[in-house]
Amino acid sequence: MIIDKDSFQQGENFSFKFDYKVNSSTVGGGSSRGSVFLRGLRSDGYDSCKFVLEKSVDFAKLDSDLILGAIEHALKMDQ
C-alpha cells in the first residue's frame, strides 16, 4: 500500500518519492515500511538517474516492482 508519494519537476530535473507499507513475509500480522526515491536529470540523449530504496528488513518482490514502476513513470513523462 502506498502511504505517501511526492514528485517534482523543474526544467530538466525531476524526482519521485514513494513511501509504502506491505505485509511482512516473516512476521505474521506484521508489516514493514519502505521508501523509494528516484532523482534524475534529462539532457540531450543522455538521462542520468539515481535510485534509492530505503528499507531495513523484509525485502520482497514488491520492493523491486516499485523501483521499476518509478522508472516507467519517469520514462512516460517524456512521451
Res 56: pLDDT: 74
Share of the chain above pLDDT 70, in %: 94
Mean pLDDT within 27-49:
82
Distance between CA atoms of 33 and 57, rounded to whole angstroms? 9
Res 67: pLDDT: 72
- What is the domain partition of the chain in residue ranges? 2-76
Which of 3, 8, 2, 1 is closest to 74 using CA atoms?
8
For residue 58, pLDDT beyond 70: yes
Most confident listed range (13-17, 55-59, 67-71): 13-17
